[in-house]
């Protein structure tokens, strides 16, 4: 039972344009959401997070949007840069417990 889903295994975006990565979840008890970025042969690194009491959180070029009624969150990267090419994982948490990860989306930025 995949409680966190990333339905797009891959995404290609032109450099300078906006990248939008999507994530859906099924468990309404999740109250904290995170995005991790992973380069090949490295562990995932934390990128940005959002609490369920907010609907938007911004950090530089990265913005995460949360739509609780739709159980959907998205990560926007503007403008996209070649160094953004990586696998992005969405994760969710309820209380001070384990993270449930999605299967990841491979983002490729085309120069």
Partner 1 sequence: DAGVIQSPRHEVTEMGQEVTLRCKPISGHNSLFWYRQTMMRGLELLIYFNNNVPIDDSGMPEDRFSAKMPNASFSTLKIQPSEPRDSAVYFCASSKTGYEQFFGPGTRLTVL
Residues forming contacts to partner 1 in the complex (CB under 8 A) are 32, 34, 36, 41-46, 49, 89, 93, 96-104
Least separation in angstroms between CB 14 and partner 1: 27
C-beta closer to partner 1: residue 49 or 108: 49
Least separation in angstroms between CB 86 and partner 1: 13
Least separation in angstroms between CB 79 and partner 1: 26
C-beta closer to partner 1: residue 95 or 111: 95
For 84, the 3-state DSSP assignment is helix
C-beta closer to partner 1: residue 21 or 111: 21
For 19-59, the DSSP string reads: EEEEEEE--TT--EEEEEEE-TTS--EEEEEEETT-SEEEE
C-beta closer to partner 1: residue 80 or 104: 104
- The beta-carbon contacts of 42-47 under 8 Å, at least 24 apart in sequence, are 44/89, 47/75, 47/88
Tell me how far apart the alpha carbons of residues 24 and 17 are, in angstroms, rounded to a whole number. 23
């Amino acid at each position: 039972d995949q409680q966190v889903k990333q339905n797009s295994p891959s995404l290609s975006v032109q450099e300078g344009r906006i990248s939008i990565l999507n994530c859906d979840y099924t468990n309404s008890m999740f109250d904290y959401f995170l995005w991790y970025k992973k380069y090949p042969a490295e562990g995932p690194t934390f990128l940005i997070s959002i609490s369920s009491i907010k609907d938007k959180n911004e950090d530089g070029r990265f913005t995460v949007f949360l739509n609780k009624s739709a159980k959907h969150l998205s990560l926007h990267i503007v403008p996209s840069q070649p160094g953004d090419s990586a696998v992005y994982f969405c994760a969710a948490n309820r209380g001070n417990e384990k993270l449930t990860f999605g299967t990841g989306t491979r983002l490729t930025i085309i120069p």
